[in-house]
Amino acid sequence: MKKSFLTFVRISVLVACLMGGVYLCLNVSFSTRPSHYARHEALATIRLSLNATSNTPSKESAGYSGTTTIPPEKQEQRQIIFIKVHKAASSTVQNILLRFSLARDLNILLPIHPRDHINDFGSSIDPNRILPHPTGGLFDILCDHVIFNEDVIAPYFPTFTVRIAIVREPLQQMLSALAYFS
């Protein structure tokens, strides 16, 4: 079953890529999941090594010549500061980040009280409102409503932490918030 499925996937991806004029090297590997995922005996990880080189120019890509190079795979980013914004799908992104951090056993900067925020109105982070780090170290994930202030947030995270926020056109955001909260 596994072998026939992987052969099907390998052929399907190869055909799709060759039709686009790109050859992809497929590396297929299996890894067993932890015991609490026992129903998934093996996970097929199909890694597309995109060491892509172009074929000779076709009629569709007339005038193109050369080699397409794609940067090598980068290490997964696990330290993320996500600033939530009202009415901009930030709860969806927050949920994705929380699931990401739970799956990887990362430390999340959380408020002491579950239905509270980590800041007081008009401030960035209030140290009295956050759960302390279990080992006293730095946190990996922040995804909460907070006013971004680098000087206040920086002591809680490593220097290479990625900062992300959703930016929405102000007038549309205001109209959406008025419709939602009225």
For every one of its 182 residues, what pLDDT tens digit does the chain have, with 9 covering 90 and above?
555 555 454 555 444 443 443 333 333 333 333 433 333 332 222 323 333 343 444 444 444 444 555 556 677 888 999 988 777 788 889 999 999 999 999 999 888 887 777 776 666 787 888 888 888 899 999 988 888 888 988 999 999 999 998 888 888 888 888 888 88
Q: Are residues 84 and 47 in the same domain?
A: no
Which residues are paired to 107 by β-bridges?
A: none
**CA-to-CA distance for 96 and 127, rounded, in angstroms?**
25
Instruction: Count CA within 13 A, CB hemisphere, residue 18.
Output: 8
What's the chain's length in residues? 182
Q: Are residues 169 and 127 in the same domain?
A: yes
Q: Are strands 43-49 and 25-31 parallel, antiparallel or unpaired?
A: antiparallel
Last residue of a domain, one of 17, 49, 71: 71
Q: Are residues 10 and 62 in the same domain?
A: yes
Residue 37 is part of which domain span? 1-71
Q: Are residues 36 and 87 in the same domain?
A: no
The amino acid at 41: E
Q: Are residues 41 and 102 in the same domain?
A: no
Q: Are residues 67 and 92 in the same domain?
A: no
Residue 140: the pLDDT is 94
Count of domains for the chain? 2
Q: Are residues 92 and 125 in the same domain?
A: yes
Q: Are residues 160 and 92 in the same domain?
A: yes
Q: Are residues 14 and 88 in the same domain?
A: no
**CA-to-CA distance for 18 and 69, rounded, in angstroms?**
16
Number of H helices, E strands in the chain: 4, 5
Q: Are residues 157 and 87 in the same domain?
A: yes
Last residue of a domain, one of 52, 71, 90: 71
Q: Are residues 84 and 67 in the same domain?
A: no
Q: Are residues 55 and 105 in the same domain?
A: no
